[in-house]
């Protein structure tokens, strides 16, 4: 192709992607749920090959801990065993406030304290998408919590907006916190059991499962300052670390592989802005 022809093609492609950027709520919801939010990492049955076909969102395996046996709910539109008969507002409240349809407060590990800052548009888009997935009949047992839950995860939520995408660090922080809860897994706990926010991103959390034990890594510039952007993105989207070793679950690499390059850039910008922590 001549230079002129390729320039014209480039302009046409740029023009096409501008029109294509006008996503519908269902498309936006699919993107968030299936990539950065990775809801299926808990709510779908998975095996070594990823999510088991036909079991998408039908309820995940229990997540067991000293503090709880948590059973990720069936969030398909099945009317009896899923959320098909819930209103949009009830589903939004469950996601952002951790209150189920009967008014019962839900416990960890669904990160409600972060989800409360998911923007109105984005949480509504997630609900719009969940309404379109295949209903699956699967009755999930009730979760058991052996720790006292707070009276509420916070006051009622409404009127949340996301930071502008042009502010990469802030938007990356929105993806890494409220939407993707990277911060939850990658921040050490204090003696009192809360996250040590002064050491945001320092890692050192332990996860037990079929894979054995994995320990989240330090993702602040103290550990990753000399990695290239491409190396960081490869680790997030493929689970291959800088030295070529394969990273273990429960981080949802297969979900993050579906992120747009722009969103990955924002995540990297946010990681590079963190206070270096040992």
Report the alpha-carbon distance of residue 69 to residue 151 in Å, rounded: 20
- Would you say 5 or 114 has its CB closer to ligand HEC? 114
Query: Can you give 111-149 as a three-state secondary structure string?
Result: CHHHHCCCCHHHHHHHHHHHCCCCCCCCCCCCCEECCCC
Residue 81 interacting with ligand HEC (CB under 6 A): no
The least CB distance from residue 67 to ligand HEC, in Å, is 12
Residue 216 interacting with ligand HEC (CB under 6 A): yes
Site string for ligand HEC, 247-266 (x = CB under 6 A): xx-xx----x----------
- Kindly tell me which residue out of 50, 207, 258, 273 binds ligand HEC, with binding defined by CB under 6 A: 207
Q: Using CB atoms within 10 A of its CB, is residue 42 exposed (0-12), middle (13-18) or buried (19+)?
A: buried
Name which of residues 89 to 118 contact ligand HEC (CB under 6 A).
91, 94-95, 100, 106-107, 109-110
- Would you say 199 or 217 has its CB closer to ligand HEC? 217
Residue 43 interacting with ligand HEC (CB under 6 A): yes
Name which of residues 3 to 32 contact ligand HEC (CB under 6 A).
none
169 phi and psi, to 5 degrees?
-65, -45
- The tally of CA atoms less than 13 A away on the side-chain side of residue 224 is 26
Two tokens, residue 206: 């332990």
> In this structure, what DSSP letter does residue 165 have?
T
Two tokens, residue 96: 């952002």
Report the alpha-carbon distance of residue 270 to residue 36 in Å, rounded: 14
The least CB distance from residue 2 to ligand HEC, in Å, is 41
What angle, rounded to 10 degrees, do the helices at 88-97 and 120-130 form?
A: 120
The least CB distance from residue 236 to ligand HEC, in Å, is 5
Residue 70 interacting with ligand HEC (CB under 6 A): yes
- Binding-site ranges for ligand HEC (CB under 6 A): 37, 39, 41-43, 70-73, 75, 83, 91, 94-95, 100, 106-107, 109-110, 126, 143, 176, 180-182, 185-186, 207, 214, 216-217, 219, 232, 235-236, 241, 247-248, 250-251, 256, 267
């Amino acid at each position: 192709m001549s230079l002129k022809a390729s320039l014209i093609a480039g302009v046409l492609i740029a023009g096409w992607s501008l029109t294509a950027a006008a996503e519908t709520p269902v498309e936006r919801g699919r993107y968030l749920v299936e990539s950065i939010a990775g809801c299926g990492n808990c709510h779908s049955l998975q095996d070594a090959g990823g999510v088991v076909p036909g079991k998408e969102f039908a309820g995940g395996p229990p997540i067991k801990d000293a503090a709880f046996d948590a059973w990720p709910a069936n969030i398909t539109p099945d009317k009896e065993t899923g959320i098909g008969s819930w209103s949009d507002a009830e589903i939004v409240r469950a996601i952002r406030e951790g209150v189920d349809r009967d008014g019962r407060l839900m416990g960890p590990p669904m990160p409600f304290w972060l989800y409360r800052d998911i923007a109105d548009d984005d949480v509504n888009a997630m609900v719009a998408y969940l309404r379109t997935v295949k209903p699956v009949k699967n009755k999930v047992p009730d979760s058991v919590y052996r720790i006292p839950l707070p009276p509420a995860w916070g006051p009622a939520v409404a009127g949340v907006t996301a930071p502008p995408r042009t502010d990469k660090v802030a938007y990356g922080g929105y993806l890494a916190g409220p939407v993707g809860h990277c911060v939850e897994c990658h921040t050490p706990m204090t003696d009192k059991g809360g996250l040590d926010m002064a050491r945001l991103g320092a890692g050192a959390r332990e996860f037990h499962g079929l894979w054995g034990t994995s320990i989240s890594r330090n993702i602040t510039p103290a550990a990753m300052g000399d990695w290239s952007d491409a190396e960081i993105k490869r680790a997030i989207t493929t689970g291959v670390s800088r030295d070529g070793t394969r990273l273990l679950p429960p981080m949802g690499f297969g979900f993050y592989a579906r992120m747009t390059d722009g969103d990955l850039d924002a995540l990297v910008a946010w990681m590079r802005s963190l206070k270096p922590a040992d």
